[in-house]
Chain A
Amino acid sequence: MTTLIVDDHTGFRTSARILLQMEGFDVVGEAVDGASSITAAEQLRPELVLLDIQLPDAKGFDVARDLLSRGFTKRVILVSSRDESDYGDSIRTSGALGFVPKANLSGERLRSLLSRESLCD
């Protein structure tokens, strides 16, 4: 599955890329903020965007809505080093498939969220 990683923290992007590749995801690109993620997604048309919520120039929720409504991708999974409960219902209303805390990021968690999508279909 082609994947775009969006996060401003280099360390996390590196770890996430290694992890996702090990789990069989095809990491096609990385972006450091909201604006560059839109550009990258428009070019790459990734099947999945792993999107950090705390971006330097925007909130991940808004970026997610933007990416989905413009059809640059069909699936967005939000990540953050904060807890899910810190964001209230913003995650649910953003159109993203779901949320994974950064420290718990794993192929299993991602696949579980992706399968929920296919169930909905």
Chain B
Amino acid sequence: MRRFGKLLTALLRELADENAYQRHLARHGRKHSAAEWRHFCEHRLRAKYAQAKCC
């Protein structure tokens, strides 16, 4: 049950782009800040919304 809960949380965080943000911070060795989030969002969202959403 605990494993399922962890998996569900991980899925929600992936859908919310929070995991991608953590990866971004780790990859570039940076710390979380409002400016860093905005920088991440610009790249992430531009790519995300250049693709069609399914019907």
Our verdict on whether A and B bind, yes or no, reads: no
